[in-house]
Amino acid sequence: MPVIKKPLGETTPSKDKLDIAFIHPDLGIGGAERLVVDAAMGLQNLNHNIHIYTSHCDKSHCFEEVGSGELEVSVYGDFFPTKIAGKLHILFAILRQFYLTIKLIFTGEILKYDYFIVDQLSFCVPLLVLFARENARVLFYCHFPDQLLAQRGSVVKKLYRQPFDALEQWTTGISDRIVVNSNFTKSMFHKTFSQLSWVDPGVIYPCVDLASAAVDPEADLEVKEFLTSEFFLSVNRFERKKNIELAISSFAKFKSEFHKRGESPSARSKPRLVIAGGFDARVSENVEYLRELTHLAESLYLNAFTIRGKLLTLPPSTDILFLPSIKSSIKTSLIKQCELLLYTPSFEHFGIVPVESMLCQTPVLGANNGGPLESIVNYDFTSATRDSATGYICEPTSEKWGNILIKHYFEVDPSTKEQLGTNGIARVEKIFSRDEMSRAFMDNLNKTATRPNKGKLFTILSFWQLEAVVLISGIVLAMYKR
């Protein structure tokens, strides 16, 4: 098949209705998948033709827009394993994407599209650049450099990762345009990809669908009847990096203070902590972490209770309630009705949960690092910040977070809490709406023809030589480790 090289100054497609393909590794229910779905829906609502290509999509475990068929999705290469004996994750991720891209090339589907939006895994970018039609462009969305997420516990593992790290930097740089999900990620991009110093990534914040906070009387009533007392809320996947234990230990400090003030007029009904989020019983970390969190609660003399599925009767003695894998409608109702949302991860690349909380007009507490610094506006308990703040930014220690819970619950008046909520939804509408993200995507797609084509300085021979070295060395090193 002939190589098609694009002229340096060639413009991007000028037609009104564009054909845009998304390429994503695994279309599940994580934050990256939520962004892809929202971006695809936003661009589709702008009357463009959208198609998502992925290596895996389970229609029983995906976002509603995918499961309902509202978005067109094709799955290629799911017969490949994702790992062997718990190893070779990155190698098989590349193989699965390689198969997907080859399928697009040999079926001719690759020639249908004006733009390709690739995220998470950049391996396919050179192939798209080589074999897409002349005026097609490739935008790569970097959620976070993959090499910073990989564990490197041994010398062999470090050697194993080196060719993949080099491949990530090289293939990322070939994109016509690179964007990231926050200024924090942009700073990490520059620190990680030293050979791409000439790249100035655009920033496209993840979004929320403004309609997702619409009133759902059935879900609202179910939560209200089930949780008859006030509650704090933590929403995260059950993964250790989410640092959910911070919410539990902070709540333990709050409970101690609550008991001291129990007879005071300011004390109200017995508050609880609800911990909800994504949970997959097939994932060992999810199962182990929930068990660890339960033990932590018990060690702090907090009564923990877990409910899977429909909300049933809650024991009155419950202090900590675990709700693994709840429906979206229940999650939204929990956020709307909680006292304060606790967003516990540190150095989160962006973090969509604080934005979801602000959309529901609920104040949110986040760590003073990473993405929350860009989404949450801090309230310092003074009138100077009351008209702009949407929650609290604080060093992630149980002592300091516990103090925030105490002050918010006992000292912040209802009108101020309402003002924080009003500020929150106004900030979401201005910066984090689906319409705003769609506009940002279109702006960056339109810029794909203007950046210098330094990333195109490669040959077919060097490309295939590099791929061969990466795949062979990865297999050999991984087998040696076993």
- What tens digit of pLDDT does each residue of 178-187 get? 999 999 999 9
- Which of the four pLDDT bands, split at 50, 70 and 90, describes residue 154? low
Given a cut of 60, whether residue 119 has pLDDT beyond it is yes
Beta strands across the sheet bearing 177-180: 73-75, 49-54, 19-24, 115-119, 137-142, 177-180, 202-203
For residues 429 and 206, give the distance between their C-alpha atoms in angstroms, rounded to a whole number: 13
**pLDDT > 80? residue 423:** yes
Contact 45, 438 (CB under 8 A): yes
* Residue 75: its H or E element: strand 73-75
- pLDDT higher than 50, residue 193: yes
* pLDDT value at residue 147: 59
Closest by alpha carbon to 437, among 204, 116, 162? Answer: 204
Q: Do domains 19-207+435-481 and 210-432 have the same CATH topology?
A: yes
The secondary structure of residue 212, as a DSSP letter, is G
Query: How confident is the model at residue 122, as a pLDDT?
Result: 93
Of 81-90, 201-210, 356-365, highest mean pLDDT: 356-365
The structural domains of the chain, with segments of one domain joined by +, span 19-207+435-481, 210-432
Both structure tokens of 287:
């199962």
The whole-number pLDDT of residue 168 equals 87
- Please write the tens of the pLDDT for every residue from 438-462: 999 999 999 986 544 444 444 444 5
pLDDT band per the 50, 70, 90 thresholds, residue 415? very high
Q: Supply the pLDDT for residue 327.
A: 86
Distance CA 93, CA 37 (A): 20
Name which of 170, 172, 171, 24 is nearest 97 in CA terms: 24
d(CA 216, CA 333): 8
- Position 316 scores a pLDDT of 87
Q: Which residue has the tokens 């906070």?
A: 213
**Average pLDDT of the segment spanning 97-124:** 94
3-state secondary structure of 465: helix
Q: What is the secondary structure of 379-424 as a DSSP string?
A: P-SSHHHHTT--EEEE-S-HHHHHHHHHHHHHTS-HHHHHHHHHHH
Give the CA distances from residue 247 to residues 41, 346, 359, 447, in Å, rounded to whole numbers and listed in that order.
33, 12, 21, 42
User: Percentage of the chain surpassing pLDDT 90?
Assistant: 62
193 vs 471, higher pLDDT? 193
Lowest mean pLDDT among 20-34, 96-110, 155-169: 155-169
CATH number of 210-432, picked from 1.10.10.60, 3.40.50.2000, 3.40.50.800, 3.40.50.300: 3.40.50.2000
Sign of the C-alpha dihedral, residues 418, 421, 425, 427? positive
Q: How many CB atoms lie within 10 A of CB 25?
A: 23
Angle, helix 217-226 to helix 328-337, in steps of 10 degrees: 60
Listed in sequence order, the DSSP H helices in 215-268 are 217-226, 245-260
**H-run or E-run covering 118:** strand 115-119
Between 309 and 468, where is the model more confident?
309
Using a pLDDT cut of 70, give the percent of the chain over it. 85
24 and 33 in contact (C-beta within 8 Å)? yes
CB atoms within 10 A of CB 442: 17
Q: What is the pLDDT of residue 467?
A: 56
| Stronger pLDDT, 83 or 398, i.e. the higher one | 398
Best CATH choice for the domain 19-207+435-481 from the list 3.30.2020.30, 3.40.50.10490, 3.40.50.2000, 1.25.40.10: 3.40.50.2000
Residue located via tokens 């409910």: 307
- List, for residues 50-90, the tens digit of each pLDDT value: 999 999 999 888 888 999 999 999 999 999 888 887 778 88
